[in-house]
Amino acid sequence: MTVDQEKITLPSAIVVRDLAEILDTTPVEVVKALMQNGVMATVVQVIDFDTAAIIAADFGFDVDAEGDALDDAPETEESTSVRLIDDGEGAVVRPPVVTVLGHVDHGKTTLLDRIRSANVQEGEAGGITQHIGAYQVKVGDGRVITFLDTPGHEAFTQMRARGANITDVGIVVVAADDGLMLQSREAISHVKAAQVPLIIAINKVDLPDADSARLKGQLTEEGLLPEELGGDQIVVEISALEGMGIDELLENVLVVADLEDLKADPNKQSQGIVLEAKNDRLRGVTATLLIQTGTLRAGDVLIAGTAFGRVKAMFDSDGMPIESAGPSTPVEILGLSAIPSAGESFETSADLRLARQEVDTRERETSGTGQSQAVTLDSLFGEIHKGNVTDFNLVVKADVQGSIDPLVQVLEAQSLEEVNVRVIHAAVGSVTESDVQLATASHGVVIAFNVMPEPGARKLSAESGVEVREYNVIYDIVEDIEKAVNGLLDPIFEDREDGVSEVRAIFRKGRRNAIAGCYVRDGAMVRNSLCRVMRNGETVHESIIGSLKRVDDDAREVVAGLECGIMVDGYDSFEEGDEIVAFHKEQVR
């Protein structure tokens, strides 16, 4: 995307924050402009071209749809950002990428294995069922779904913390005999925080003590009213072990995916995310990639973080060699120079020389920047103040349920028009690693009320710089958040009078300057303070007391009852009887 004076090019969909950058303004300003146009969107939300164009026009830009102009241009520098939103005319429907989450032993692995093995039986037999971090299955009429093979919200949120929002749909598996457990609730919060559609899979319905009705009641209490009870939460009953309800689950994945209108352009340069990577003694560095846009081909030159290389060989998730792979496809590749980190984005480069140059530049840049950005309540104030953040995300942990509800209510009540205080997860118990990860991924902080962080959480917080704030008094929490949120508001100043003097004589000094001979009636006149020259009750000039003399000497301050000579910056047209009022501004908010 290029800004060319007043003319800009916009894609068919764009994240609000990115639009703000193009328009050279703050995300908050864009959110406000959207509101004025009747569109409620957060900074991280995607808006379509038409909406973006209206906003851009409001900011005085001339807008073009992204298309021909950019397609011709070499995109080497363009392709550094990680974005699933793909646009342009060449964009076609891409498979959804699904993560399975849930409480331990509720059946995540069994479900993933069941879906995969059902698929292998149908088709391309012979492949080795290896785990490369993700796989694809074909459903019904030939449509494809990509599953991430590392279940659980730790992996899910770790990816998000690294800036890799790769999941399109979250399935939370809950065992019907067990009901909603701590990690089920966590998983639900994690999916919601990622702002992706959520499907609840009630598993183990084959068990005699399965109680789906009780579970649906629990979901309703969580605010997730199942569709069959008149709500809009998709709930599917399955038995991962016996293969019951799996087709219905997959159909529902496609339904929510269709609503999301997931698209990508297979003709673009390939970009995506590293799912995992390791050094294999025989094969060298192997990396599993999820392609987000474009088509990756064997022989392409690829850069992932500071690793690069030519793709020597490429395999699909069944371990079969392939020549090319399009959007939403997981592949395993050989040929990288080093092991990239999971969650790192990748892109292709025209040749190895350019790739090496790019990596050199990145190495120089990262060596200066040190650790990833810390998130503390203070830094969040700053970000909000700068307009970079409008959602104030909090993870709340407390000792008893009785504290949580009022705490969440009172915290969320601190929201203002410009900033939304969001409790993205609230639960009873000590602060866990997962809580810190969720805060990291959501650019938020953890509030611990009457509870302590677990050692792992403390360590992670120290490493990631994400703050865990411990409190024992609710009022202190509210006060801190209130302060943070109010920091966002433009301060309001009021004038406070310090002194008033009457002009009794005027002495000219040179052609442009005049000294007002004054009698200080009230308070004190102070050199360099703000002042106002008043005539018949009206202000005729406002500036600063540039010089203040007592007899012939410079004075810092002259108090009531004394005479003085005053020169006011930029003003020489005093008249006898004028008043000079000295004042200062005081911040009242």
Annotate 60-81 with DSSP letters as a single string.
T-EEEESSHHHHHS--TTGGGS
Residues between 139 and 158 with contacts to ligand GDP, criterion CB under 6 A: 151
- Candidates 318, 319, 349, 355; CA nearest to 334 is 319
Mask for 409-448, x = binds ligand GDP (CB under 6 A): ----------------------------------------
CB closer to ligand GDP out of 108 and 160: 108
The residue range among 200-208, 294-302, 524-532, 547-555 that interacts with ligand GDP, by the rule CB under 6 A, is: 200-208
The residue range among 237-245, 335-343, 425-433, 454-462 that interacts with ligand GDP, by the rule CB under 6 A, is: 237-245
- Interface residue with ligand GDP among 160, 204, 310, 422 (CB under 6 A) is 204
Characterize the bridge pairing of strands 307-310 and 301-304. Answer: antiparallel
Distance in angstroms (rounded) separating the CA atoms of residues 414 and 88? 40
- Name, in order, each residue with C-beta under 8 angstroms of 178's C-beta and a sequence gap of 6 or more: 103, 106, 204
Q: Does 241 bind ligand GDP (CB under 6 A)?
A: yes
Q: Are 10 and 66 in contact (CB under 8 A)?
A: yes
Annotate 521-541 with DSSP letters as a single string.
EEEEEETT-EEEEEETTEEEE
Annotate 18-59 with DSSP letters as a single string.
HHHHHTTS-HHHHHHHHHHTT----TT-EEEHHHHHHHHHHT
Please work out the total of residues on this chain that contact ligand GDP, with binding judged by CB under 6 A.
16
CB closer to ligand GDP out of 112 and 518: 112
Residues between 97 and 116 with contacts to ligand GDP, criterion CB under 6 A: 102, 104-110
CB closer to ligand GDP out of 102 and 170: 102
Residues between 527 and 586 with contacts to ligand GDP, criterion CB under 6 A: none
Residue 449 CB neighbour total at 10 angstroms? 21
Compute the least distance from the CB of residue 204 to ligand GDP, in Å: 4
CB closer to ligand GDP out of 184 and 440: 184
The residue range among 118-126, 204-212, 313-321, 326-334 that interacts with ligand GDP, by the rule CB under 6 A, is: 204-212
Q: Does 239 bind ligand GDP (CB under 6 A)?
A: yes
- Candidates 212, 145, 209; CA nearest to 174 is 212
Helices (H) and strands (E) in the chain, counts: 15, 34
The residue range among 203-211, 284-292, 396-404, 534-542 that interacts with ligand GDP, by the rule CB under 6 A, is: 203-211
CA angle 432, 438, 439 (to 5 degrees): 95
CB closer to ligand GDP out of 204 and 268: 204
CA angle 327, 272, 82 (to 5 degrees): 120
- Interface residue with ligand GDP among 12, 26, 99, 203 (CB under 6 A) is 203
CB closer to ligand GDP out of 245 and 499: 245
Q: Is 93 helix (H, G, I), strand (E, B) or coil?
A: strand
- Interface residue with ligand GDP among 21, 206, 418, 542 (CB under 6 A) is 206
Q: Does 212 bind ligand GDP (CB under 6 A)?
A: no
Give the binding site for ligand GDP (CB under 6 A).
102, 104-110, 151, 203-204, 206-207, 239-241
